Amino acid sequence: MFRTPSLEHLHKVIVLNTKGGCGKTTLATNVASYYALRGPPPTLIDYDPHGFSMRWLDKRTTNRPAIHGIAAYEQGLQGSAELQVQSDTSAVIVDLPANIAVNDLYHHVHDADSILIPVLPSEIDIFSASRFIAELLLDVGLDRRNRRIAIVANRVRQNTRSWQMLTRFLTSLRIPMVSVLRDSQNYVQAAAQGIGILEMPGYRVRKDIESINAVVEWLDQWQMRRLDTVVEPGFEHLPGAEVLTPALRK
């Protein structure tokens, strides 16, 4: 998928869901922001023809931690073999479009290290997600036993009927739900500025920081198992660092 001969330990993170409007770009950009703050600069690859991830990156000011961007939608879904990421990148976050065909889906996920699927707590989204995950497991041949696929519940208001429906659905999948993103205007405001939740004042986004931490903690656990490495302490300079998880304290 990526031509990176000098990067033996590139961590490839795919964010996907075949239903539009579920928060793929929100998740992809916040993960990219997290890795940018931690360093080295990640690469954000946008295959969605709408280009939302690249629009977010265009709004990002030069004084923010660097994120490399590739507008892969200009090459089409089969153009991934021609992509070249920067030599200083160790993490690649891929924002895939909705309504992606099974053949294209296999083309992208077969060598992914981590796969994140954002799901909204609504009946139509849960129904769509169940069909999509069935495609991943049956048609694409993804094996959930290798623990490289996880669900992120998005725009959640807990203790509601839709939330209860979502938790029952996820329990039946035997795929972990690694985090719950609140239905919060913080994500909207961050997106408008080309930043992630972790780059906003800590006092405003304390609950949201915990949610993004949980996502990357799961990503780091997979990477640590693959590379047999340990994350070292020390990452206290971020806004809201007093609530950061050990995964971020690198």
Q: In whole angstroms, what is the distance from residue 69 CA to residue 79 CA?
A: 15
Q: What is the pLDDT of residues 32-75, one digit of tens each?
A: 999 999 999 999 999 999 999 999 999 999 999 999 999 998 87
Higher pLDDT, 65 or 243: 65
Range with top average pLDDT, 30-34, 77-81, 93-97, 161-165: 30-34
Give the domain ranges of the chain.
11-243
Q: In whole angstroms, what is the distance from residue 137 CA to residue 17 CA?
A: 14
Q: What is the pLDDT of residues 130-160, one digit of tens each?
A: 777 777 777 666 666 666 888 898 877 666 6
Higher pLDDT, 234 or 107: 107
In sequence order, what are the beta bridge partners of 14?
A: 94, 115
- pLDDT class of 21 with cuts at 50, 70, 90: confident
Higher pLDDT, 210 or 107: 210
Kindly state the tokens that stand for 1: 């998928």
Average pLDDT value for the chain: 79
DSSP letters, 55-78, are HHHHT--TTSPP-EEE-GGGT-GG
Q: Which residue is associated with the tokens 């929100």?
A: 26
- Listed in order, strand segments (DSSP E) in the chain are 11-15, 43-46, 68-70, 91-95, 114-119, 149-156, 177-182
Please state which of the ranges 79-93, 102-116, 143-157, 219-233 shows the lowest mean pLDDT: 219-233
Q: In whole angstroms, what is the distance from residue 29 CA to residue 196 CA?
A: 7
Amino acid sitting at position 116: L
- Residue 8's pLDDT is 58
Please report, in angstroms and rounded to a whole number, the separation of the first and last CA atoms in the chain: 28
Instruction: Tell me the whole-structure pTM to 2 decimals.
Output: 0.81
Instruction: Just give the CATH number of 11-243.
Output: 3.40.50.300
